[in-house]
Amino acid sequence: MKISVIGTGYVGLVTGACFADMGNEVCCLDVDEAKVQELRKGSIPIFEPGLDAIVLDSLEKERLFFTTSYETAVNHGEVIFISVGTPPLDDGEADLTNVINCSTEIGRFLKGYKIIVNKSTVPIGTHQLVEDTILGSLKEENKQDTKFDVVSNPEFLKEGEAVNDFRKPDRIIIGSSSEKAFKKMKELYRPFNRQNDRLLEMDNLSAEMTKYASNALLATKISFMNEMAQISERLGVDIENVRRGVGTDKRIGNSFLYSGVGFGGSCFPKDIKALSFISHKNNYEPKILQAIQEINNSQKKILFDKAMHHYKKDLKSKTFSIWGLSFKPGTDDLREAPSLVLIDLLLQAGAKVKVFDPVSMKNFEEIYNHSEVIYCAQAEDVFYDSYGLFLLTEWKEFRTLNIESLKSRMKNPVIFDGRNIYDQEELEKQNIPYYGIGRGRSIY
Ligand code: NAD
């Protein structure tokens, strides 16, 4: 099948590459010319495990090509995916400028029947906005008779596991009111839907809402466990035991129960803000959504509070080590990462930081040019002359802590474990003070 994908970010590039990998002819469009130039050469602008191999293979087999021309992309695809960014505005509302711009362009070049699929995460009702915008463009071009359908097909992939998630989705949501569009979408997704039927058909509104509800529920689990960690800590309870005990209940499940320094990324924070905005606009005060955000904001500051307690509010001129900058392992994405909040607070308190992350150093340097931030080439370089280690992202290579190396390089090591991955007892046996999240040692 001939497919076009508009927007070549985490979602668009994975979508385009995975469909090409299944034998489709895929055209990927982006407005960012430099990005398109790089992609044409097979250089992948984001870190996403496994993605480079399928992009290169599809380029070589000429099943994938990149363009900045809407005319080319709209002419090429029988199915045209919209996967552009929908960032938050200051008041939390999703900014639909990119979606509107590309709908306008689609309308300009649309000739015969096409299916326009919205994969971006968008406010409930946006399918109608896309349709109206395309209709507006068609009218301007005097092509009112041109037919098209708008499908809502939200994406559920996780950064860091995006290729695998796309290839083996838990579910494929297709929202539409057109039988013709359902049939085509089923055909397109058939290779990803072979083992058992994961394709759920529904109306557009429900599909759009399903995406927001899923992200809000996952974020609720995280903030709920962070609240339990706060309570546990004050009671001398170890949240790690509680997590294991709670997770064995099949009705609850094990995933998303880890307490930590809060969630970040390009999706949860913005989608919860957007859903809250929609809710307020429709005269409902969302209580849980509000609480998720409040808990998450304070959780991002929790290790700073612990450091202030340990060093008796004197962080001035002290150097600290930071392991992990991206909002989670497996990605170079820094959007809303807890590292940004903690590093800001440390610098404001007069401290210096030495940072290391296996993949997001370059991205971090681009947004964080500060004389008190020292970028280290190797993980253990951050230990030299440092007072304490903050573990923020649980990359595999940070999971085993070399205590000898830590002791020999650091002044008086202290561990601030933002992901509860280290052995509290073992560190304390070695006279290394340990601060985790909800591990039963209260500072309050
Ligand atoms: P991104 O910022 O990584 O990429 C968006 C791309 O769209 C950029 O390359 C940008 O240049 C391009 N773009 C912007 N306006 C354009 C236009 N008018 N025409 C063509 N290209 C344009 O974004 P992303 O993380 O891939 O997210 C895209 C959408 O998918 C968002 O709505 C997001 O919420 C949703 N989503 C993201 C994830 C994720 O893990 N990143 C998962 C599920 C859903």
Tell me what pLDDT residue 357 has: 98
Intra-chain end-to-end CA distance of the chain, in Å? 61
CB of 6 sitting under 6 A from ligand 1: yes
412 vs 310: CA distance, rounded Å = 12
Taking only Cα atoms into account, the Rg of the chain, rounded to an integer number of angstroms, comes to 24
Residue 253 φ/ψ region, left for φ over 0, alpha for ψ in the -120 to 50 degree band, beta for the rest? left
pLDDT tens digit sequence for 388-440: 999 999 999 999 999 999 999 998 999 999 999 999 999 999 999 999 999 98
Is the distance from the beta carbon of residue 105 to the nearest atom of ligand 1 less than 6 Å?
Answer: no
Mean pLDDT score, 13-30 = 98
Determine the distance separating the centroid of ligand 1 and the alpha carbon of 430, expressed in angstroms.
47
The answer to whether residues 365 and 403 touch, using CB atoms and an 8 Å cutoff, is: no
Q: Which of 365, 369, 363, 407 is nearest to 388 (CA)?
A: 407
Q: How far apart are CA 91 and CA 197, in angstroms?
A: 39
Q: pLDDT band for 282, please (50, 70, 90 cuts).
A: very high
Which residues contact residue 21 at a Cβ distance below 8 angstroms, ignoring those fewer than 6 apart?
Answer: 54, 57, 58, 63
Q: Is the CB of 417 under 6 A from ligand 1?
A: no
- Residue 156 CA, closest ligand 1 atom number: 43
Q: Does residue 223's CB lie within 6 angstroms of at least one atom of ligand 1?
A: no
Q: Which string of b and e fits 162-191 if b means at least 16 CB within 10 Å? A: bbebbbebeebbbbbebeebbebbeebbee
Indicate if ligand 1 lies below 6 Å from the C-beta of 324: no
pLDDT at 411 (0 to 100): 82
Q: Sheet holding 415-417: strands in order across? A: 373-375, 352-356, 319-323, 388-391, 415-417, 434-435
CB of 32 closer than 6 angstroms to any ligand 1 atom: yes
Mean pLDDT of the chain: 96
Q: Ligand 1 center to residue 307 CA distance, Å?
A: 37
208 three-state secondary structure = helix
3-state DSSP call for residue 176? Answer: coil
- Tell me the average pLDDT across 249-262: 97
Alpha carbon of 395 to ligand 1 centroid (Å) = 25
6, 8, 11, 96: which to mutate for ligand 1, most atoms within 8 A of CB?
11
Cβ of 267 closer than 6 Å to ligand 1, yes or no, is yes
Q: Which stretch of DSSP H or E encloses residue 5?
A: strand 2-6
Please tell me the predicted confidence (pLDDT) of residue 369.
80
- pTM summary value: 0.95
Residue 93: name the closest of 278, 217, 287 by CA. 278
pLDDT of residue 151: 98
Closest of 98, 71, 140, 72 to residue 11, by C-alpha: 98
Which of 368, 357, 298, 365 lies closest to 330, judged by CA? 357
Q: Give the count of beta carbons closer than 10 Å to the beta carbon of residue 142.
A: 7
pLDDT of residue 444: 81
- DSSP string covering 75-130: HH-SEEEE-----B-TTS-B--HHHHHHHHHHHHH--S-EEEEE-S---TTHHHHH
Residue nearest to atom 10 of ligand 1 (CA): 7
Average pLDDT over residues 16-36: 98
Residue pair 265/88 in contact by the 8 Å Cβ criterion:
no
Catalytic residue ranges: 267
pLDDT of 371: 85
Of 138, 98, 96, 84, which Cα lies nearest the Cα of 114? 138
CA dist 30 and 424 (Å) reads 48
| Amino acid 129: pLDDT | 98
For 257, the token pair is 């129960």
Verify whether ligand 1 is closer than 6 Å to residue 240 (CB atom): no
Q: How far is the CA of 409 from the centre of ligand 1 (A)?
A: 42
Does the C-beta of 334 come closer than 6 Å to ligand 1? no
Give residue 367's pLDDT band: very low, low, confident or very high (50, 70, 90). confident
Cβ of 363 less than 6 Å from ligand 1: no
Tell the residue nearest (CA) to atom 2 of ligand 1: 85
- Mean pLDDT, residues 119-135 taken together: 98
Residue 196's pLDDT is: 85
Cβ of 4 below 6 Å from ligand 1: no
Q: Which two tokens stand for residue 196?
A: 């058992």
What pLDDT was estimated at residue 295?
A: 98
Cβ atoms of 256 and 221 within 8 Å: the answer is yes
Strand-pair category, 434-435 with 415-417: parallel
pLDDT band at 370 (very low <50, low <70, confident <90, very high): confident
Per-residue pLDDT band at 368 (split at 50, 70, 90): confident
Q: Which of 46, 74, 124, 266 to mutate to test the pocket of ligand 1 (most atoms within 8 A of CB)?
A: 266
Residues with Cβ within 8 Å of residue 171, at least 6 apart in sequence: 156, 198, 199, 200
Name the residue with the closest Cα to ligand 1, atom 29: 120
Could you give the CA distance from residue 359 to residue 353 in angstroms, rounded to a whole number?
18
Is the distance from CB of 343 to CB of 372 less than 8 angstroms?
A: no
- Atom 11 in ligand 1: which residue has the minimum CA distance? 32
Q: What is the rounded average pLDDT of the residues 75-102?
A: 97
Mutate-to-test residue for ligand 1 from 4, 5, 6, 10, highest number of ligand atoms within 8 A of CB: 10
Instruction: Find the mean pLDDT for residues 39-50.
Output: 95
| Closest atom, ligand 1, to C-alpha of 84 | 7
Distance from the CA of 179 to the center of ligand 1, in angstroms? 28
Structure tokens at 329: 């392992």
Q: To test ligand 1's pocket by mutation, which of 84, 96, 118, 211 has the most ligand atoms within 8 angstroms of CB?
A: 84
Q: Is 161 exposed, middle or buried (0-12, 13-18, 19+ CB in 10 A)?
A: middle
Q: Where are the beta strands (DSSP E) in 128-273?
A: 148-152, 172-175, 199-202
Dist. CA 104–CA 411, nearest whole Å: 60
